[in-house]
Structure 1
C-alpha cells in the first residue's frame, strides 16, 4: 500500500487543476485515469471538435461571400481535417503526464475503485489517501431501447476515418446540433430526432428558434416530439424506429449517433465501499465541494452534483475551489460567477445569465430587448441572415441579468456580457463606453 496526501481520480481539467495546485504546495499527490490523460475536453470533446469546425467555418464564410468577391467555395477534405485534429490529440496525453512528473506527482493508468473510506485500488495496487478527489467526468447516456448498442457516440464521430453519407442524431442537445452542422457542411444528409417540443431546452426559446430555422435552411431534417423506441440494423445501414403522435415512424441512415445527453461517469467507482453518496446528477457535495457523506472525498466537474454547469471552465473553477480547501481547510465556498455557454454551430449561439422565462419566475421586474437584426452592418458585411439578440435588464438595479445571442462572433461577444453581469456594471455605463469599430463588440450598445 502506498500512502498519499491526495489521490485524484481523473486527469481532465478539474483533476489536473487540483493535482498540480496541491503538488505545488508540497502535498504528495497521485493521479490516475483509465483513459489517456487529458480528459474529455482535450481528447474527446471541445478541442478536437473546434478544430474540425474550423474547416467548416472557412467553407461557410466562402459560401456566404460567393459572388461577392469569392469565386470558388472550397470543399472540406475530411481525412486532412481529421489528421490535423489528431496532431493535437496525440500530443496531449504525453504532455500532460510529463507535466505531472515534473511536479513530482505519481501517475497511474487504470480505473480506480474504493475499497474503504480512504483507500482505492487501481488494478492490483492499493493506494491510501488522506484526501481523494473524484474528477471522472461524464459519459454518454446509455440507450436502453432495443438496438441502442448500434448507436455511435460523440467520441466515435470525432474519430471517423470517413464521413458517412447519411446520419441520424438521437437527441436535440448541443452535441447533436454541433456535429450535425459539421456533417452537413461536409456533404452528409443529416437528421436530428428529439423527443421534446423544442431542442436545446436550457437555452432561451426565442434564440433557439432562430438556430432551428438556420439548421433547417442548411438542409438538416429536424424532427421533434418523436420518441425513439429502437434501432434496427440492415444490409445498407440502420433504421431508427420512433413514435410520433401515436403512430410509428422510421428513419434510415448509414450511421446513428447517440446524442441523448451525458451522465456522471461514477458507476464503476464502488462508491458504497467508500461511503460516498451519489444520485443521478453525480457525487453529492456541500458548498465546499466535499462529499456530504465522506469528508475525505471531494468531487468536481461533471462527476459532482454541484451548482455548476457541465462546462470545462466551470470544472477548472471547481478544481481551484477544492485545491484551496484541501490545502487550507474548508475556507472557500463554491460561489459561481456567470457561466457563459456556447453552441458551436454556424451560426453559433451563446447564452449567459437568466433567460427571460427564469427572470420573470423570480418576480424580478425586467426590461427585455429582443430583436433580429440582419440589417445591421456586421450582418450585411458578412452576408448572414442569422443575427439576433435578447438582453434582460433588471429595471430596479439598472444592470444586466441575462444575454442570449445568435450570429457571427457571438461566442466572443458573450464574454463582454458575462463580465458586465459579474461586476454588476450599470447598463448606462456600458452604453457610455467607447468600443473599437467596426467590430462585433461595437454592437453591444445597440443590444442594450
Structure 2
C-alpha cells in the first residue's frame, strides 16, 4: 500500500521521536518506522538499563570501600534478580512509546526501511512517500574484521544475560568496556579488557584516565593496551581469544567475549544510494542544518548523522528538535554543540565538558589549568573513594571556562553544572562565588576555580 506524509522518520529513539512528535504537534502528517521494538538504544539497549546495573555495582563498591568505617556484613549482586529489575524499566517501554505516537496521531510502521528513490521508502508491503524524510536509525557494533567475529556478544545482549559468565573478555577500550567491566567485576566476574591502542578512553583527559586505570586495576580488572585481537574461537563457556602484543601472540581464555570496540551508524541496508544520499563510516553527510548534502528532502540526526557531535542521548534529542524546527521553518537553525558533557559510568565516573588541554592549545588560547587530587577532600573521604581528581581550564583575561575534566563521586552531576556554565557563558569568577549547598560536590567548585 502506498501512503504519503509530510514527514517520514526512520528510527524511534530519542532523535527520531523528537522529530516525529514536534512535527505532528505542528499539524504535519507524520509516519515513523522501526525494525526493532520502539524506543531506540537509550531506553532499551543503552543508557537506562545500563545505569540500573551501574547503580547495583555502585552499592557493592561503596560497601567494600566503607568496610572498617562503620559498615560490615556480606553483600552481593543477585544477577538474575537484577536483570529482572532492569526489565521493569525496559519491558514496558516499547508499548509506552508506541502508544504515545498513536495518541499524538503519528502513524507507526514495523519493519526495516529501504529507500526506493529520493522521497520514498519501502517497509514490508507499504511504500511511504515523504516531503521530508529523517534518518535517525542510531548505531550498531562496528565491524571489526577479525576471525570469529560472530562469537562476540553485543552490548544489548550483555544487558539481557540471564546469568553472568565467570570469565569475560572485552574487545576494545571505550565507554562500553569500562562501564560494563566495572559492573561485571562487582558482580563477581573475572574481567579482561583488550584494547588495540596505546590509550583507552582517548577522548578524555589522559591524566584522569590514568588514575581511573589504577582504580580499575585495583578492583581486579586486567586492562591490556597495545593488544590487537585477531581471532575469537570456541563456544560459549570455552572461548580462546588470540591477540597480538608487541608482535607476539597471546591467548586469553573466556566464557564470554564482548564487543566493546566502537559503534557505527546502522545504514548499510537502507539503500541510501537509491535516494542519492551520501554517507561514510561516520554517518549521513549533513550540513549545519543536519540536512543531507546531496538530497535536500532528507535530514539525519543522532548517531546516524555525520554531524560532529558526541554519541550522547541529550545530543540526539537536541538534534531531533533542530531537525524538526528546520523542516517546519525552512532551515533557520544550525547545530551548536558548545558545552556538551560526556560521562563514562565507571566506578567512579569520569566526566568531560568542553576542551581538553590539547584542543585549547591547538586553538592558540591562553589559559590556566587548575587541577588537584581530591581523594583527601571531604566529599571523597566520606565515601572512602580513593580515585578523585579534577582539571579545569580557564581562559586568561576573560575568565571563560574552556573545559572541565572530573573523576570521582558524582562526577556526572558536577559535569552538568560545568556544562551549563560553558553553554550559558557563566565565567569562573561568578561560578566561584555561587552560593551552593554545602557539603556537596558543587560546593567544591569554589576551590576548583
TM-score (norm 1): 0.99
Q: For residue 356 of structure 2, what is the aligned residue in structure 1?
A: 355
Q: For residue 268 of structure 2, what is the aligned residue in structure 1?
A: 267
Give the superposition deviation at 1:143: 2.6
Q: For residue 210 of structure 2, what is the aligned residue in structure 1?
A: 209
Q: For residue 434 of structure 1, what is the aligned residue in structure 2?
A: 435
- 1:195 has 2:196 as partner: yes
Rate the CA distance shift 1:234–1:52 in 2: closer, same or farther, 3 A: closer
Q: Is the Cα–Cα contact under 8 Å of residues 59 and 73 in structure 1 kept in the other structure?
A: no
Query: Which secondary structure state, in structure 2, belongs to the residue aligned with residue 240 of structure 1?
Result: strand
Q: Deviations over 1:254-294 (max 9, x none)?
A: 11011110000011100010111111110000111000000
Q: For residue 173 of structure 2, what is the aligned residue in structure 1?
A: 172
Give the superposition deviation at 1:364: 0.6
In the TM superposition, what are the counterparts of 1:9-158 in structure 2 within 5 Å?
9-158=10-159
Unaligned runs of 5+ in 1: none
**Relative to structure 2, which stretch is displaced further, 179-188 or 53-62?**
53-62
TM-score (norm 2): 0.98
Unaligned runs of 5+ in 2: none
Query: Which secondary structure state, in structure 2, belongs to the residue aligned with residue 411 of structure 1?
Result: helix
Give the superposition deviation at 1:307: 2.1
- 1:160 has 2:165 as partner: no
Alpha-carbon distance between aligned partners in 1 of 2:319 and 2:237, rounded to the nearest angstrom: 46
Q: Is the Cα–Cα contact under 8 Å of residues 236 and 255 in structure 2 kept in the other structure?
A: no
Alpha-carbon distance between aligned partners in 1 of 2:338 and 2:400, rounded to the nearest angstrom: 15
Alpha-carbon distance between aligned partners in 1 of 2:323 and 2:168, rounded to the nearest angstrom: 41
Q: For residue 241 of structure 2, what is the aligned residue in structure 1?
A: 240
Q: Is the Cα–Cα contact under 8 Å of residues 62 and 73 in structure 1 kept in the other structure?
A: no
Alpha-carbon distance between aligned partners in 2 of 1:146 and 1:171, rounded to the nearest angstrom: 15
Q: Is the Cα–Cα contact under 8 Å of residues 236 and 256 in structure 2 kept in the other structure?
A: no
Alpha-carbon distance between aligned partners in 1 of 2:390 and 2:236, rounded to the nearest angstrom: 46
Give the superposition deviation at 1:223: 0.5
Q: Deviations over 1:387-433 (max 9, x none)?
A: 10000011131111000000001110111111111122221111122
Q: Deviations over 1:333-369 (max 9, x none)?
A: 1122311000001101100000111111111111011
Q: Is the Cα–Cα contact under 8 Å of residues 143 and 258 in structure 1 kept in the other structure?
A: no
Q: Deviations over 1:190-230 (max 9, x none)?
A: 00000111100011111111111110001000101011111
Alpha-carbon distance between aligned partners in 1 of 2:41 and 2:235, rounded to the nearest angstrom: 32
**Relative to structure 2, which stretch is displaced further, 196-205 or 332-341?**
332-341
The RMSD of aligned alpha carbons is 1.0
Give the superposition deviation at 1:235: 8.3
In the TM superposition, what are the counterparts of 1:349-428 in structure 2 within 5 Å?
349-428=350-429
Q: Is the Cα–Cα contact under 8 Å of residues 63 and 73 in structure 1 kept in the other structure?
A: no
Alpha-carbon distance between aligned partners in 1 of 2:185 and 2:236, rounded to the nearest angstrom: 24
Query: Which secondary structure state, in structure 2, belongs to the residue aligned with residue 18 of structure 1?
Result: helix
Alpha-carbon distance between aligned partners in 1 of 2:134 and 2:354, rounded to the nearest angstrom: 29
Instruction: Report how many residues are paired.
Output: 448
Q: Is the Cα–Cα contact under 8 Å of residues 3 and 127 in structure 2 kept in the other structure?
A: yes
In the TM superposition, what are the counterparts of 1:317-332 in structure 2 within 5 Å?
317-332=318-333
Query: Which secondary structure state, in structure 1, belongs to the residue aligned with residue 250 of structure 2?
Result: strand
Alpha-carbon distance between aligned partners in 1 of 2:36 and 2:134, rounded to the nearest angstrom: 17
Give the superposition deviation at 1:236: 4.6
Rate the CA distance shift 1:325–1:76 in 2: closer, same or farther, 3 A: same
Give the superposition deviation at 1:67: 2.1
Query: Which secondary structure state, in structure 1, belongs to the residue aligned with residue 145 of structure 2?
Result: coil
Rate the CA distance shift 1:77–1:101 in 2: closer, same or farther, 3 A: same
Structure 1 runs, 4 residues or longer, greater than 4 Å off: none
**Relative to structure 2, which stretch is displaced further, 189-198 or 226-235?**
226-235
Q: For residue 338 of structure 2, what is the aligned residue in structure 1?
A: 337
Alpha-carbon distance between aligned partners in 2 of 1:276 and 1:307, rounded to the nearest angstrom: 18
